[in-house]
Chain A
Amino acid sequence: MNIDFEINIYHEDYHNAGSASSEIKKYLTQLGLNPKFIRKIVISSYEAEMNIVIHSLGGKLKLDIIGNHIILTSIDKGPGIRDIKMALTEGFSTASKKVREMGFGAGMGLPNMKKNSDKFEIKSSPKGTIVRLSWVIE
């Protein structure tokens, strides 16, 4: 039994930022999953969503449920992450002063995605970044 769901996310769209994750939260709630489990997924999807808004040229979030796995994929159109190892360090951020003033850019997004998921994969090139997170349904 599969499900698939996709939402487009635009560069610098701070006005709607977070709405994709709210949708995902609504979905998972309707499916009747455990609230604490849902929270891990939604926190991760929010960080992924914000990274597309802040750091990329735009992209999308995809949610798939395949068997007893939930897979969240974030795909964007670039410019990519130059040094993935560095980007994964807690507190590392290239966010501008303006973005920090809005309350983002603490450099905890990728580390938190990793911490909150069962499996974390990331691939990046100047053409774009793909982050794939998965969970075994609790």
Chain B
Amino acid sequence: MKHLVDIHVDRCIGCTRCMRVCPTEAIRIKNEKALLIKERCIFCGNCILNCHKSAYKVYSDSFANLNKHKVNVVILPSAIYGMTKNMKELGGIYQILYDYGFDEVFDLSGVVELLSQKITEYIKQSDKTYILSQCPTVIRLIQLKYPSLLSNLLPFDFPYEIGAKIARKKLSQKYQIKEEDIGISYISECLSNFIAIKEGLGKKKSNVDYVFLFNDLFRNSIDSDQINTSVAKNGIQFSKAGGFEYLSNKNEVLSVDGVKELDEILERIYLNRLDNVKLVEAYSCIGGCVGGNFTIENTFVAKWKVNQFHQTIDESIEYVNQFRHVLNSRDWMFTSEVEALSPYKLSENINQSIVKMNQINQILKQLPNIDCCACGSPSCRALAEDVVNHEKTLDDCYILKRGDET
């Protein structure tokens, strides 16, 4: 399967910016164009955000798909609460979505509020430090870099997956149609959820049929509208980093956001250096989902708006309860194993890996070790690895070449 992210070769100038901000060495420049190593990508979106030539393209779905279904429902990403300060503005969002042709809008805040209650119960069962499973990039990073921490990862599925199952059941009853006649779309706030849906992370196939990108559907100004909608007061807090911490026993929850900081916290757990933390609330994007890489509002303004919104609404147990018993407990969890991945392995056989490792170290001795990236590999060591793997040659090093000329 081809990667869902691709490069406009006519726009890319091979400047190496994206390569240098990729946290997992998943990008190379070859023939002056960026090239993605899909197996190493953790979907953080840093590359897209840092490209000044708009050279990245993301293959989202086409609206034409909606014609295949009798009823179309769109699941609202929680990041939406970073754009709305009150119910009227949320009404404006619903109107925009009805105008796009969706018959129903499904709000996730109720599901998320229930999910948080389930998590609070779940983490009581053992003494270990659990890691929140809401951000696919967090999961990818653990799969790739900290596979021994997979047993710390919570088993709960992504809110939109749970929401999709609930929506399908409820709407097929409401409209008296078959479940497959309902088309389920998600508006993704980030690259991470987009790819997690497309590739079915933690399951064989996603329950969501189509994914659109947040910044393709919304612009920054929203008109208010009097549409009758409901939200769960506490549920909306989970759209931002620290939401779980805010609603739970603060002493037990550590909240972290941003890939670099996330990596450091995972390392602390890995080294058994994070005592007394029951749950790590982890997000790859700064600010949590309201800071997703396809959102439009400034992350910090978005966090402020969530709090504004939170204050304007009353708690509604009835609203939350209508999602409570639709599914059985298993349906709230991942259905396939989230397994360890090893895209950095030099070969399948340890002896052969050692041979390669020695070759890499030999080559590295010849390189200038200044990590200038001009060769199109993210460090001199990465170039040495690429040479050993026959992806590049020593001639790619500009500094060595300059030495040869003089």
Q: Chain B residues with Cβ under 8 A from A33's Cβ?
A: 350
Number of interface residues of B (CB under 8 A): 23
Nearest B-chain residue to A23, judged by Cβ: B381
Known: A3-B354, A3-B357. Is A30-B147 also a contact (CB below 8 A)? no
Instruction: Find out whether the CB atom of A32 lies under 8 angstroms from the CB atom of B345.
Output: yes
- Bound CA–CA A26/B357 (angstroms): 11
Q: Which of A5, A22, A26, A35 has the most CB of B within 10 A?
A: A35
Q: What residues of chain B lie closer than 8 Å to A42, measured between beta carbons?
A: 270-271
Distance to closest chain A CB from B222 (angstroms): 45
In the complex, chain B residues whose CB is within 8 Å of the CB of A30: 344-346, 353, 357
Contact assessment for B148 and A32 in the assembled complex, using a CB-CB cutoff below 8 Å: no
Q: A1-B355, A39-B148 are in contact. Are A32 and B350 (CB under 8 A)?
A: yes
B272 within 8 A of A: yes
Q: Is A14 engaged at the interface, CB distance under 8 Å to the other chain?
A: no
Main DSSP-derived SS at the A contact region: helix
- Complex Cα distance, B353 from A2, in Å, reads 11
CB distance from B365 to the nearest CB of A (A): 13
Complex interface residues of chain B between 325 and 383 (CB less than 8 A to chain A): 340, 342, 344-348, 350-351, 353-355, 357-358, 361
For A3, list chain B residues within 8 Å (CB): 354, 357-358, 361
Q: How far does the Cβ of A81 sit from chain B's closest Cβ, in whole Å?
A: 22
Per the bound structure, the CA–CA distance linking A32 and B354 in Å amounts to 10
Task: Give A18's nearest chain B residue, CB to CB.
Answer: B267
Given contacts A26-B344, A30-B345, contact A35 B350 (CB under 8 A): no
Q: Is B174 an interface residue (CB 8 A)?
A: no
Q: Contact: A31 with B357, CB < 8 Å?
A: yes
Q: Tell me, yes or no, whether B273 is within 8 Å of chain A by CB.
A: yes
CA distance A65 to B271 in the complex (A): 22
Q: Which of A5, A26, A27, A46 contacts B271 (CB 8 A)?
A: A46
Contact B348 A35 (CB under 8 A): no
B322 to chain A, nearest CB (A): 42
| Complex interface residues of chain A between 24 and 51 (CB less than 8 A to chain B) | 26-27, 29-33, 35-36, 38-39, 42-43, 46
Among residues of A, the one whose C-beta sits closest to the C-beta of B354 is A1
**Known contacts A30-B346, A103-B273, A137-B350; A35 and B148 CB within 8 A of each other:** yes
- Counting chain B CB atoms within 10 Å of each CB, which of A2, A30, A43 scores highest? A30
User: Mind listing 10 A-B residue pairs with CB under 8 Å?
Assistant: A1-B354, A2-B354, A21-B271, A29-B345, A31-B346, A31-B354, A32-B353, A33-B350, A36-B148, A103-B273
Chain B residues packing against A (C-beta within 8 Å): 145, 147-148, 267, 270-273, 340, 342, 344-348, 350-351, 353-355, 357-358, 361
Closest 3 CB pairs of A and B: A32-B345, A35-B147, A35-B148
